[in-house]
Amino acid sequence: MAILPPVTYPASIEIIVPARNEAHRLPQGLEALCQKAATLPLRTAILVVDSASSDSTGDIVRQWPAGPVPVGLLRCERAGKGVAVREGLLATQAPFVGFCDADMATDLSALDAAVRMLAAGHHVVIGSRVLSASVVQARSSKARQVGAVVFRKLSRAIVPAATDTQCGFKFFSGPRRPRPRRPASRPDWSGSGAWWRTSGPS
């Protein structure tokens, strides 16, 4: 089994990027995330979870050049963002972990605030598009925007403190979750970067 360099791993914070058929958007988004992650005060790693992609999403991550922020790959044979996020959260061993969308829809400067809040003892940091200080650019159809408003209102009945449960920017701290019983993921080396793989669905 390959051993990752102690200079860059284990990470204090790991950023999960769920990705399904994101070969077109992933290179630009991943490059921006790596650049921002390198400036954070905590040792950072990135884990892309390939959610049953049929394009070259996985190949892009395997061939990603080595740098100060290690970029890993976890292959998930089941499609779906929720499944991909869950697999990523269960795979990480970092004390702080979070996820963001492959298109980096949330301004990456939000990572500075997330890290500060986690380091200060907050267990959950959730991005929101509906706070008064939020700056939102329209990225979806009017019908989808209306649907999102309705869903947020319904979700507040279950989670009153969360203003935007659907925002793809969430970070967590706390005790490690138990690993699921499934074929083990393992680190390996491919080209110039470390990556992870799993042999099947959970």
pLDDT digits (tens, 9 = 90+) for 123-177: 988 865 444 444 444 555 555 455 445 444 544 565 555 554 556 689 999 655 5
pTM for the structure as a whole: 0.71
- Apex 39 CA angle, 173 and 31, nearest 5: 95
Q: In the structure encoding, which two tokens stand for residue 172, read together?
A: 């967590």
Strands 44-51 and 71-76 turn out to be parallel
- pLDDT, tens only, 92-115: 889 999 999 998 888 899 999 999
Q: What's the number of CA atoms in the CB half-sphere (13 Å) around residue 1?
A: 8
- pLDDT, tens only, 27-79: 999 999 999 999 999 999 999 999 999 999 999 999 999 999 999 999 999 99
Structural domains of the chain in order of their starting residue, each with its CATH number: 13-127+168-197 (3.90.550.10), 128-167 (no CATH)
